[in-house]
Amino acid sequence: MSPPSSVDPRLFDDLSREVSLLCDAAGVLTWMDARARALLGEKVGSPLRALAALGTEEKVDRLLVQARDERVRGWELILCRGEVPTTFAFHARPAEGHGVLLVGSLVPEDYGAALTQVTSTLSELATLHREAEGQRRELKRRADELTRLNHELEESNRGMRSLHAALDEKAEGLHRAAEIKSRVVANVSHEFRTPLHSILGLSKVLLNPINGPLQPEQEKQVQFIRNSAEALFELVNDLLDLSKVESGKATLRHSRFVAHDLLSALRGMMRPLMPPERSVELRVVEPPEPLELETDETRLSQVLRNLVSNGMKFTESGSVTVGVAPGPRDTVVFTVKDTGIGIAPEDHERVFEEFTQLDGPLQRKVKGTGLGLPLARRLTELLGGTLTLQSARGEGATFTVTLPRVHAEVSEMTGMTERSQHLDPGRAPVLVLEDDRQTLFLYEKYLARSGFQVLPVRSTDEARRVLQRVRPAAMVLDVMLEGETSWSFLAEMKNGESTRDIPILVVTVTDREQKARALGADEFWLKPVDESRLLKKLQELARSGPVERILIIDDDDVHRYLLKQLLKDLPYALLEAAGGLEGLALAREQSPQLIFLDFVLPDITAFDVLDDLKGDPRTRDIPVILHTSHELAEDERARLANETASILSKHTLSREVAISRIRDALAKAGLGAYPSQEARRG
């Protein structure tokens, strides 16, 4: 039926609330109905995002991406014609050729005005954020520079303390040796080994008769070259290892092994090195029963090799015996006993000092580096053990290495993992993906006292297994792991339907902030991490206390069910009441952090419920969100606005709006907020 000829059809446009649009696969407008052209202007051929209000362009992009694959309903956008923003609620679905069909409904002007004000505020905040971000980056750069200088000063101070201790105990000769050591340690690098390898290899080729005979004098000279190169190579290796231990840069690689295998490998390595000109035998005493250890096998083997090598140098005839046995309090005791020249009691501590070699005919003959025993003691201490000496002059020497059967770091890591298996309902779980054990211990120490529970994992596979049983409040992620990177894991988390709203803080040593944020990281930091800064950021990103309880007071079973569906999979415990009196009783008993209240109840009015809540000290401070399908009068709306945190209409309520209002109400009440990615997408 057409309107009477006396009525202008354009008058009906004022009552129309819908516009229709068509975009191609690139998001460019290819068609607009008359209503859309009137509201938005002739924009065919322009990208839809060009119509978006400042700060909401990404929201338009997300709508187009999602609508290319599936139907989308109730997606709110703010579009502009000139400088005038207009709020629409869009339905969309895929069109042919990977395009998108969109039908938008105008949102009431008061709501649009509020959104306009929010958009303006967000724009101002964005400007302030950019300025603050620039200042933060400059402060961070200066802080990093200060941290680097502090680290260098710490390393320098550590070396200076060592030198001063030597100066107090040694004569001028030891002072010169310490200076030599300082210069060598400062200049030796892994490149130093390359020419030494060449010298050793070429001298071996020259000494091989297959390559042609040498004159006796030439062979003697080449042998001198090879011996000198071997001595220098040993010195370089010891210096590098010692400097790493002293600077705290030595890393441990724990593994589980048995003592028998360790001693067998040691015997295979050391027997070919026994001096042929002496009648010295290497003996290995196997343990009476299998003895399992969990520590750094490579470092322990290095300690024993140094002790055996030391014993062989100072034993002209006899034997060097290596043994192992269980010790007290779950320790393991290794002994290296030789029948050599022995060490006087007054020299027992001196032999563990760097660049120190006792004077004597045999000592002058073998000419050691003076670093083997100091390095062995430092490595033993790094493994959590002790190295002691029993000896007397002319009676041989016995070195004893006592260390925990299971390294302390392994025990602590096991304990941390076991603790994470039992979730504390009063603490928010934080998944920490980090391959360095010491950093994991540090995170647990930082967070244990602040309402968070650390769930430690050292690989992405472990992280996925934990996520099957626990939904963390946040993640702390190192992208540079041993043997893998976690970039794909980060993308997987942010693309997954069930994990995309979990906040992720990337903390690593590589400055790849742009890539991390492009993959969805909520925050990016470079190591090291400051405790107070970490706690503050996690409290912003995640809940720091127990799960919030939300009470729904509504006599309509369907609306209660729909509201529960909207809040599904979120960290809220939902309580239900079908009437006002029942709801008041539950509020007093359960002390919820938030109440959803229907305006129309069968037994009591919403105003009575609000009055009773405000009159009881137990419920006075609980924020209330009123949700109703009732058309409120002006005086009712004015009163309710003063007594509630928000007023929501049931027929327009969406998941995004509900989460946003809950977050705002909790934040205003000082109860923290759950910063859902889902809410930000709405």
Average pLDDT, consecutive stretches of 10 residues, N- to C-terminus, the chain (682 residues): 56 71 91 87 88 89 91 89 82 88 80 66 83 86 86 76 63 52 50 67 76 79 74 65 56 79 84 71 85 87 87 84 91 92 81 64 52 83 89 88 85 70 73 82 77 84 86 87 81 86 88 88 87 83 60 86 75 82 88 86 88 87 84 81 82 71 69 41 36
Task: Report pLDDT for 659.
Answer: 72
55 torsion bin: left (phi>0), alpha (psi -120 to 50), beta (else): left
Q: Where in the chain is the domain with CATH 3.40.50.2300?
A: 409-541, 548-681
Between CA 472 and CA 174 the distance in angstroms is: 58
CATH 1.10.287 domain span(s) along the chain: 172-246
Asked if 674 contacts 573 with a C-beta cutoff of 8 angstroms, the reply is no
Burial of residue 391 (number of CB atoms within 10 Å: 0-12, 13-18, 19+): buried
- Supply the pTM of this predicted model: 0.40
Contact 50/23 with Cβ under 8 angstroms? no
Task: State residue 309's pLDDT score.
Answer: 85
Q: Residue 399 has which token pair?
A: 């070195």
Q: If you write DSSP's letter for every residue of 376-388 in order, what string do you get? A: HHHHHHHTT-EEE
Separation CA 314–CA 451 (nearest Å): 59
Distance from C-alpha of 541 to C-alpha of 533, rounded to nearest angstrom:
12
Lookup: tokens for 642: 């003063």
Start and end residues for every CATH 3.30.450.20 domain found in the chain? 17-107
Residue type, position 30, single letter: T
Q: The domain 257-317+338-404 is classified under which CATH number: 3.40.50.2300, 3.40.50.300, 3.10.129.10, 3.30.565.10?
A: 3.30.565.10
Q: Which of 151, 150, 152, 177 is nearest to 163 (CA)?
A: 177
pLDDT at 393: 84
Domain over 409-541 is classified CATH 3.30.70.20: no
Query: Which residue do the tokens 């025990």 mark?
Result: 411
According to the model, what pLDDT value does residue 74 have?
87
- The pLDDT value given to residue 28: 92
As assigned by CATH, the class of the 548-681 domain is alpha beta
CATH 1.10.287 fits 172-246, yes or no: yes
| C-alpha span between 249 and 569 (Å, rounded) | 44
C-alpha dist (Å) from residue 314 to 283, 352, 395: 16, 15, 12
Q: Residue 533, SS3? A: helix
Spell out the residues 6+ positions from residue 124 whose beta carbon is closer than 8 angstroms to its own: none
Which CATH number among 2.60.40.420, 3.30.450.20, 3.40.50.620, 3.20.20.70 corresponds to the domain 17-107? 3.30.450.20
The tokens describing 206, both together, are 């020259």
